[in-house]
Structure 1
């Protein structure tokens, strides 16, 4: 049964006859699908939801672990930097101490060498001076011996011998 009010002249119209339009069959099919699919699709969706929640929890756990590892690594890095800075400062201090010690030893060695050279110079001057005195004495003796025979006559020679004997007697 079609209602003439709502029916149009030909192409479009609203049919309100329940038996003719199969509304009851459609309602039963939709209700059945809803009731059956609710359990099926609900289970699938619940399992999917649980899987997503588990993955989110796992991701949060990994994030927390990574954050803890990052914090620990940053602390280790800061500690390593502090130790490296301390080592660098200690190294500079040791290098400075070694340099100062080396300079001190160099100055001491130079002073010792200077003193050794002065003492060597003094001993060389003394040796040369003694050698010059000896040579001068030898030359004076040679000259005296060379000129002595011409200047010495028998009387002078006798006086010289007497004088040498007296000098030996007093000693």
Structure 2
């Protein structure tokens, strides 16, 4: 390794007019070497670097464009979802109102039906009471009539003797005869 380093050092001391050689003095050659390297890099690497930057720029733009398209699609879906939500809310309100009105209608129908049933039961009760009153009155009349008839028969049987009995029969036959003549 020492031989390689010595050979480079010895090259630096050769006087050469117009020939190419290595200057090992770092302070004297650093700016020149850097400017040469940078010049070569700029000259040859300019196209590669610009292609890399263009490709990167295209990928970034494409990513942004895809993101915008996805954003637009998401906004469109969001708007459709909101429209469906509004429609469902309107339908729910309609069902709710229809349900409430149906409940009210059924409630009124039930109240009316119950009212009619109560009225019919009241009428039936009144008719039953009236019927029972008439039956009780008829039973009382029959008993009074039977008792009056039994009392009258008893009175007649106790007051009637044979002679009065024959006169009553003769009078009734006479009345019957006159009634028959009038009708003929």
The TM tier, using the shorter chain, reads 0.7 to 0.9
Offset at residue 167 of structure 1 (A) = 4.8
For the pair shown, the structure with the greater C-alpha radius of gyration is 2
Alpha-carbon RMSD = 2.2
Per the alignment, in what secondary structure is the counterpart of residue 31 of structure 1?
helix
Q: Which residue of 2 aligns with 1:7?
A: none
The match for 1:132 is 140
Q: Call closer, same or farther: CA 1:38–1:165 in 2, change over 3 Å.
A: farther
2:44 aligns with 36
Instruction: Tell me the residue number matched to 1:47.
Output: 55
Q: CA offset at residue 168 of structure 1?
A: 4.3
* The one of 124, 146, 154 aligned to 2:162: 154
* Equivalent-residue separation in structure 2 for 1:166 and 1:31 (angstroms): 174
CA distance in 1, matches of 2:93, 2:127: 50
TM-score (norm: length of structure 2): 0.71
CA distance in 1, matches of 2:51, 2:171: 154
Q: Distance in 1 between matches of 2:117 and 2:171?
A: 59
What is the TM-score of this pair, normalised by structure 1? 0.76
Tell me whether 127-136 or 142-151 shows the greater mean CA deviation.
142-151
**Length, aligned pairs only:** 153
Deviations 1:87-144 (A, max 9, x none): 2122222222222222222222222222222222222222221121112212222233
Q: Counterpart in 2 of 1:56?
A: 64
Deviation at 1:62, TM superposition (A): 0.8
Shift of 1:73: 1.3
Matches within 5 A, 1:56-135: 56-135=64-143
Match of residue 165 from structure 1: 173
Q: C-alpha distance in 1, partners of 2:175/2:129?
A: 40
Tell me, which stretches of 5 or more residues in structure 2 are unaligned?
Answer: 1-22
Residue 150 of structure 2 is aligned to residue 142 of structure 1: yes
Query: Equivalents in 2 of 1:32, 1:163: separation in Å?
Result: 174
CA gap 1:73/1:167 in 2 versus in 1, 3 angstroms: farther
